[in-house]
Amino acid sequence: MQNKNLWIGLVVVLIVVVVFWFVGKSSVPVVVDDNAIVDSTEDTSEGSVNVGAPAASISYANALVKYKDARIQLEKTCQASPDKGTFKNGTNIMIDNRAPVARTVKVGSVFPIKAYGFKIVNLSSSNLPATWYVDCDKSQNVATILIQK
């Protein structure tokens, strides 16, 4: 009789463990990283901006790694993230358009960015410190960039 109760207890525990495993597995949120599946390269022959010679072509994934601390992302509504940044004079930054439409962007000079594209911009000013404002299409001053020595 005691052996039978032990088996019933083990089966109940096993069922509870299996149920928790399935419930726990399905309730974990799945984060889809849209950027990870994109391996496009920006056509830099049209030019990186404010750079003497065109930069070499770089994939989006590699640009995310290289410019992780020097990137301004423009969302569908031209909202910039981050909206403030401080960089040394001569630094290259990534302007990342995450909108499904092409954008006209101003960072020192005006340039187009393709839908889901990016540009590498050189921040260079002879008067330091300098404050540059980022414009995205008709939205002005969506981000502020402070350039220091």
pLDDT of residue 114: 94
Average pLDDT of the residues in 56-64? 86
Q: Is the pLDDT of residue 141 over 90?
A: yes
Single out the residue of 58, 56, 66, 55 nearest to residue 40, CA to CA: 58
Average pLDDT of the residues in 75-90? 94
pLDDT of residue 106: 93
pLDDT of residue 27: 37
- Map out the domains of the chain as residue ranges: 41-148
Q: pLDDT tier at 91 (50, 70, 90 boundaries)? A: very high
Q: Which CATH class is domain 41-148?
A: mainly beta
Write the burial class of residue 121 (CB in 10 Å: 0-12 exposed, 13-18 middle, 19+ buried).
Answer: buried
Q: Looking at residue 77, what DSSP letter applies?
A: T
Q: How far is CA 29 from the centre of its chain?
A: 20
Average pLDDT of the residues in 41-49? 47
